Every structure is written in structure tokens, then in C-alpha cells.
Amino acid sequence: MTKITLVGAGSTVFAQNILGDVLSNPELADSEIALFDIDEERLSTSEVMSRRIGSTLGLHKLRITATTNRREALEGADFVILMMQIGGYKPATVIDFEIPKQFGLRQTIADTLGIGGIFRALRTIPVVLDIARDMEELCPDALMMNYVNPMAMISWAVQEKHPNLAYVGLCHSVQETAGHLAEVLNEDISTIDYTSAGINHVAFFSKFEKRLADGTREDLYPRLKAIAEAGKAPDGDKVRFEVLRQLGYFVTESSEHFSEYTPWFIKRGRTDLVDRFQVPLDEYIRRCEEQIAEWEVLKDELEDESRPLEVEKSNEYAAAIIHGMVTGTNHLIYGNLRNNGLITNLPNDAAVEVPCHVDRNGIQPIRVGSVPPQLAAVMRWQTNVQELTVAAALTGRRDHIYHAAMLDPHTAAELAPDEIRQLCDALIEAHGNYLPSYH
């Protein structure tokens, strides 16, 4: 019997997607699902939802446990899936937006890079490292599958401190962007082959091709570039098509995310840029408020036994990984792992996102070689910040928080060094016990 533990299982919608994918595989029908969360109400809803998925699929041998005791949930696990948010929307996410705004620094999502990404990492890395230590004691052979942002910083820290722990960071940006581009070109994604490489949220497609009936292939990049040059990028995706026009390649994370990873699109006094590129400032705040407003309705729907619960497959990689490692079937995924030469013009210690084979032997990353130099340069903007944030998290040195923020491209473009230090100090104070002490 395979034991799958969900840490942060109160993220009910995401847990529903993962479990629907996993349990749709007949070979995993007798799995044990352990749900852990510190929020008892959300955990209860997720337990009901999980049992209803099992009932819908006719899985009579399925075993489900729900607990607020993390060690109990981890005991004997084969796979541990992380999906939590440390500090929640309130107070942590609100702090990440509101205090920088007082300094004139605006953000869109604030979960990957920028000042918001730095402080989300500082809150989250200690918790993930605690989980890693528990896993080494309670389930040493288990694979940690991390969906928590900021993906690259967390992956870097875990693999630095726990190099023998089986680990992969997972995201849906590559496959979702591939599907999006297929729609933009009015093509069937099932006919398209692509390759992507880089770091999470700043990876680029090196290949985007269509398989033709006669066995030949059509490079679809000329059509994408024509859209960019003509200024006909779809609404909501102006940033990425501009990046394509300037750098020659399409990035795999959304325009709202990417707009805050560079100094190009969000600038004080430049509302013309925000308007031209349709940058949705405070977008994550809006999404969180919307989800909170919808929660009670969703909760009632999930717990209403009289309503059918549809089980639909998502495009997440977790199920393919579990299926491949349990059955030996080969799957191809995109995973975040320590570089170690996978991308030769990025730092070896960094966490990179590359194609990987999965089977009984686990996650086997594919060596990419070098990426185009202009793309590597943009990625090194990110790895500089990531390295210093991880150093702050692992050493407790407050000055490394300042250093990370000073090297962040968006923050550095807006604030002077002393202002950046003042901003960091204000955020450290506001987050209080959600952060460890720094010296």
C-alpha cells in the first residue's frame, strides 16, 4: 500500500485536484491518504472531499486519515506533498503588499521574487526544513514533492541542508503556458512538442513545434514573434509578448508574475507602462479576497452529499510521478532540482527547472547544457536574490536580507539602499513570530 501525505491539506481545491489525479489511476486505488493541516475546519472539509472522491471512483479499499499532528501524518509515508502557505493571507500576505506600498514599491503576486518573494521565503524555509528533518526520521525513503512558493528558494535551501532527501519542486507554469500558446495559435496542444529550461517562473521555451501529418515539424516561434511584432498580444499577456519581442523567447510564467521580476514594467510615475502592458497591481490581494468570499459556498458544495462530485484530471505532475515510481511506467515531467551542471551557464547550487524522466528509479533530470546568454542573464538576476535569501535563512544573518533586497531588480530600481534597509526592517518587525530571529 502506498502512503501519500498532504501537508497543508486545508488547501482544499488544490488537494482535490491532486487526489483526483492520483486516485484515477487503478494501480493506486488502495493507497493510504494522510491529510495534515493546522486549520481544523479546512482539514475537515478536505477529509469529506477526499472520501467523496473515493466514493465517486468506487475505491472501497481507500484509506483516509486526517490529523493536526504532522509527525503522525508523515510516519511511514512514501510521498509527501507540500501545499501550505505560512502566515496565510492575513496577516502575512497583506503585510508583504502593504508595507512595501508605503515605500512606493508596488507588486502584483509577490510570491516568487521581489520583496514579497524574499519574505515569503524567509517565513517558509524554516518550516520546510523542519518537515525535511521529520521525514529523515519518520519516512527516510519518501519523496518530498513541493508545490510551495517561492519554489526556487525553497528548493535551493532544502537541497543545501538535506542533500540526501529525495526531493522535487513542482509547478504547472510550463504545461499551462504551452496550452495557452496553443490556444493563441488556434492549435491542438496534443500535436505540439516543446522544450523548456531555466528556473521556476523564469524558464523559457527553447522549442515550440507542431507535428505535421507527413512527419515533418513546423517551428511555431515565427508565428508567435509575428504576433509580438504586430502588437497583437492577447489581453492579459502583453508583458510576455514584449519579452518575446525583446529577448527572442517566450517565458513560461504569466505576465502578471513576470512583470515584477524585472525593472522594466512597474515604475513609480510611469502609469503609461502599467496601462500599456496591462500590469494588474495588487493582483494576488484581489485573488485572495475573491477566494475567501467564495470559500463558504465552496465548502457547502464539497460537503453536500446530495450533489455529485465530479473527478476531473488536472495538468499537475504529482500523479504522474507517483504512478511512475510505483508502477515503473516512464513519465516526462518538468521538475525543480539542484543544478549540478544541468544548465551549464547557471550556478551549480541553484535550483533549476528542467525536463525529467520518472520511473521506479525516481526523478532523473535531463542535462540541458547552456541556455541563450540573454536568458541566462535574466535568470542570474533571480539566482543572485535567491542565493542571498537562502543564505539569510540558513545563517540567520540579517544583513543578507538587506543584500537580497538590494539586488532584487524591481526593488533596486525603485528604492535607494538605505530605503531598502528600512523596508526590510519594517517587514521583519511586522512579521514578528512568523520569522526566526536574525542577528
Catalytically active residues are 172
* Three cell numbers written together for 26: 487503478
How far is 235 from 243, CA to CA, in rounded Å? 15
**Which of these, 31, 35, 60, 30, lies nearest to 45 by C-alpha position?**
35
* Strands 79-82 vs 202-211: parallel, antiparallel or unpaired: unpaired
How far is 257 from 99, CA to CA, in rounded Å? 19
The DSSP symbol for 323 reads: H
Report whether 389 contacts 160 (CB < 8 A): no
**Where are any strands of DSSP class E within 13-152?**
32-36, 63-67, 79-82, 143-146
Report whether 238 contacts 276 (CB < 8 A): yes
Cα 215 from chain centre: 35
Cα 276 from chain centre: 27
How far is 139 from 4, CA to CA, in rounded Å? 11
How far is 172 from 181, CA to CA, in rounded Å? 14
How far is 89 from 128, CA to CA, in rounded Å? 18
* Three cell numbers written together for 72: 503522525
312 contacts: CB under 8 Å, gap ≥ 6 = 20
How far is 95 from 110, CA to CA, in rounded Å? 11
**Which of these, 109, 39, 20, 34, lies nearest to 71 by C-alpha position?**
34
Query: What Rg do the C-alpha atoms of the chain give, in angstroms?
Result: 22
Q: Given its phi and psi angles, is residue 431 left (phi above 0), alpha (psi -120 to 50 degrees) or beta? A: alpha
Helix (H, G, I), strand (E, B) or coil at 157: helix
Report whether 110 contacts 260 (CB < 8 A): yes
Task: Give, to the nearest 10 degrees, the angle between helix 12-23 and helix 283-303.
Answer: 60
How far is 111 from 288, CA to CA, in rounded Å? 13
